[in-house]
């Protein structure tokens, strides 16, 4: 039986490497948690909140995203949010997922660091027990805050080190270049964390270079603006630096006008280790498979592209050699059908 390309991308085994867990909070859950916790929202209804999801750029999204996260107070809240995402991920045939979380968004409101990590971690543990799903946490520093605050957050994270796979950098990109966090990333590297950073989403290709050279990151989150710099593109291909691309996010935040204009196939055909991810699925109109289907509908995606995206997702994952080989064999078996 030959599957249509849409069925193929939906059913193929895959990993997700760029999902902000706070960006998986659906309006329904935001309202339920607000009620449970007695938090007041600036929107009268679920529909009114959803109607506000008309973004013009990254900052216009971030303002609403941080407001949405204000309903998260208890460990159970973090569990419920993560559980809901993991169920969606499981339905999309995601076998491995690496979750970003923004501790500073919560600790600034008086929520303890441990409440955040324990709630998310417990949901990941249950998903592993029930479905064999693997995953980990990537703690992001908010780049609109100071280096000093990042160091303080790192300090708070150390008791939970065993639960944290890596360190990332997110929030407002323009005006907050990677070099602002060079020293704290150097410390994180010494401590043995994997390193990633958002770069070249809205910001210039130069931020991708400085993320690589000054922060020593292993993957670039987004990175789509690298096509503005052919030399950098060559470097990314040559050094096999993975890019965690988020197609629906790029459209919602006006990085590209339409999906037909997205450069993901250019990147893939140039040999870059591109992966597809959902970024903030509750805000951008879809989870992993929605992103893949949107690409298939708008671009001349071929079967070999789909297989490469699935293989890239596991090759770019922070997993040990044996698990990687096991997942890659599952991809190959799937495409051999
Ligand atoms: N935080 C959540 N989503 C983000 C994105 N797409 N870019 C930067 N920071 C983010
Ligand atoms: Zn992101």
Domains and their CATH numbers in the chain: 5-21+73-336 (3.20.20.140)
Q: Which residue's CA is the closest to the ligand 1 atom numbered 1?
A: 171
Q: Which ligand is nearest to the CA of 174?
A: 1
Q: How far is the CA of 170 from the centre of ligand 1 (A)?
A: 6
- Separation of 128 CA from ligand 2 center, angstroms? 24
Binding residues for Zn(2+): 18, 20, 198, 279
pLDDT band at 3 (very low <50, low <70, confident <90, very high): confident
Atom of ligand 1 nearest to the CA of 170: 9
Average pLDDT, stretch 320-326?
98
Across 159-179, average pLDDT:
97
CA dist., res. 50 & res. 44, Å (int): 11
Residue ranges of the annotated binding site are: 18, 20, 198, 279-280
Name the closest ligand to CA 279.
Answer: 2
Give the catalytic positions in this structure.
201
pLDDT over 90 (residue 287): yes
Backbone angle region of 133, left / alpha / beta, with phi > 0 → left and psi within -120 to 50 → alpha: beta
Count of residues in the chain = 337
The answer to whether 222 touches 201, Cβ cutoff 8 Å, is yes
Predicted confidence at residue 285, as pLDDT, reads: 96
Output the CA 220–ligand 2 centroid distance in Å: 10
Q: Would you say 306 and 5 are in contact if contact means Cβ atoms under 8 Å apart? A: yes
Closest residue by CA, ligand 1 atom 9: 171
Condensed to tens digits (0 to 9), the pLDDT of residues 22-32 reads 999 999 999 99
Q: What does the pLDDT average to over 174-200?
A: 98
């Amino acid at each position: 039986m030959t599957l249509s390309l849409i069925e193929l991308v939906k059913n193929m085994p895959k990993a997700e490497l760029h999902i902000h867990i706070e960006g998986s909070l659906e309006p329904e859950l935001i309202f339920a948690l607000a009620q449970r916790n007695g938090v007041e929202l600036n929107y009268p209804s679920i529909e009114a909140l959803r109607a506000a999801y008309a973004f013009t750029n990254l900052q216009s999204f971030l303002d609403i995203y941080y407001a949405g996260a204000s309903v998260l107070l208890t460990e159970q809240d973090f569990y419920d949010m993560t559980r809901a995402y993991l169920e969606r991920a499981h339905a999309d045939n995601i076998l491995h997922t690496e979750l970003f979380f923004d501790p500073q968004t919560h600790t600034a409101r008086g929520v303890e660091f441990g409440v955040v990590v324990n709630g998310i971690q417990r949901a990941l543990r249950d998903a592993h027990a029930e479905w064999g799903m693997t995953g980990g946490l990537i703690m992001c520093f908010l780049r609109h805050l100071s280096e000093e605050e990042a160091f303080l957050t790192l300090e708070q994270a150390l008791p939970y080190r065993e639960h944290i796979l890596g360190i990332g950098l997110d929030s407002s990109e323009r005006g907050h270049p990677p070099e602002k966090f060079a020293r704290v990333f150097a410390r994180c590297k010494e401590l043995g964390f994997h390193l990633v950073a958002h770069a070249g989403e809205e910001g210039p290709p130069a931020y991708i270079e400085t993320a690589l050279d000054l922060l020593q990151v292993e993957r670039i989150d987004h990175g789509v603006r690298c096509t503005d710099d052919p030399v950098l593109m060559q470097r990314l291909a040559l050094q096999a630096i993975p890019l965690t691309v988020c197609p629906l996010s790029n459209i919602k935040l006006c990085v590209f006008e339409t999906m037909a204009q997205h450069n993901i196939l250019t990147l893939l055909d140039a040999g870059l280790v591109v992966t597809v991810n959902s970024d903030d699925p509750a805000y951008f109109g879809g989870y992993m498979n929605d992103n893949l289907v949107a690409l298939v509908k708008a671009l001349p995606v071929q079967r070999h592209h789909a297989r490469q995206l699935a293989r890239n997702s596991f090759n770019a994952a922070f997993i040990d050699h044996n698990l990687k080989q096991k997942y890659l064999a599952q991809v190959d078996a799937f495409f051999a059908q």
